[in-house]
Amino acid sequence: MVEMHEMVPGKRFDRYHELGQHAFGDKLGLWIVVPQQLIVEVGVNIVYMVTGGRSLKKFHDVICDGKCKDIKLTFFIMIFASVHFVLSQLPNLNSISGVSLAAAVMSLSYSTIAWGASVDKGKMVDVDYNLRATTTPGKVFGFFGALGEVAFAYAGHNVVLEIQATIPSTPEKPSKKPMWKGVVVAYIVVALCYFPVALIGYWAFGNSVDDNILITLNKPTWLIATANMMVVIHVIGSYQIYAMPVFDMIETVLVKKLKFPPGLTLRLIARTLYVAFTMFVAITFPFFGGLLGFFGGFAFAPTTYFLPCIMWLAIYKPKRFSLSWFTNWVCIVLGVCLMILSPIGGLRQIILDSKTYKFYS
């Protein structure tokens, strides 16, 4: 996608749907890309609402240590959403660059705290490394859901063109050069965050670890409280990065199709309603792991794993059975399998969680 951003001399594809329209035609490209991209971005925002609310609640519970009145998760999600009612009024991605940088620093920091605290705590007594499920269907569906969670974790592709659009570009210094460096650095940081947490967290807690390992950890109190607040700062920035393209789409439709006058009033109403919608869904279905698996497979697999490959084949038309042709087709087949299987596991987990969950509790 970084390579395809400026594939036509003198033109930049600043939006995912613009690249889709170039590959598949104006009308078909719009219908193929926009619905899936919207599902991805709205899905991420819902998950971030849940994550922010849960981390705020954990911060409160750790600091209080049983001495304060118990507050519902619903209220913490509403507190988290209140920040976005303000931040969503910022005009574009450039205006939230500071928030985005803080989010990146926080993610590396709380990940380090998570695996460091796990090492400090050591292996649990009677730690169990077996699968949680005891039945064959449970194990299979758990595996499908896990695939979706992995897919969700690598979903930055959905906003990569919008991010690259903020980088200046000239024929001598095209935007893809600094963008490529950014992508490489981003995945190095991702590896530094994910692998120690996954390996050390599982070593310490086995299958009793929570979806969010910081929910499992309680000691040292000040450190775990700090880490949960870092998660909150991280998802505040990440929410805005995924929400900005949605705001752009909503406002474009309202102005161009429905003839609403552009301006502050339109932005205030449209963006506030969107934040309120994601808050309401997060309050209704605060199932972190199930949502990851469901959205990861249903929406992220197409836009992240195989749509870019189909576009590459449609535009560049590599020679059949060449390395480029073969690699893209492998990604397409794996992506389609991911899209079909992962939502099944995620949806099953949501159903299982909802059986024991009291709504708006």
Q: Write the DSSP string, 103-156.
A: HHHHHHHHHHHHHHHHHHH-PPTT---S-S--SHHHHHHHHHHHHHHHHHHT-G
> Residue 87 sits in which domain range?
2-287
96 DSSP assignment:
G
Q: What average pLDDT does the chain have?
A: 81
Residue 290: per-residue pLDDT: 65
Residue 329: per-residue pLDDT: 93
Tell me whether residue 59 is in a domain: yes
| Residue 183 scores a pLDDT above 70 | yes
The tally of domains found in the chain comes to 1
Tell me whether residue 185 is in a domain: yes
- Residue located via tokens 């969010």: 212
| Residue 4 scores a pLDDT above 90 | no
- Residue located via tokens 């600094």: 178
Residue 238: per-residue pLDDT: 82
Residue 323: per-residue pLDDT: 92
pTM score: 0.75
Nearest to 286 by CA among 38, 39, 53: 53
> What percent of the chain lies above the pLDDT cut of 90?
4
Tell me whether residue 341 is in a domain: no
Tell me whether residue 302 is in a domain: no
pLDDT digit string (tens) for 88-134?
887 666 656 677 677 778 878 888 888 888 888 788 778 888 887 78
Tell me whether residue 36 is in a domain: yes
The pLDDT of 34-58, averaged and rounded, is 85
- CA separation for the pair 317, 252 (Å, rounded): 32
Tell me whether residue 278 is in a domain: yes
Tell me which of 202-211, 295-304, 337-346 is least confident: 295-304
Tell me whether residue 314 is in a domain: no
pLDDT digit string (tens) for 251-292?
888 888 877 877 778 888 888 999 999 998 888 877 666 666
pLDDT digit string (tens) for 61-73?
888 877 778 788 8
More confident residue, 94 or 149: 149
| Residue 234 scores a pLDDT above 90 | no
Tell me whether residue 355 is in a domain: no
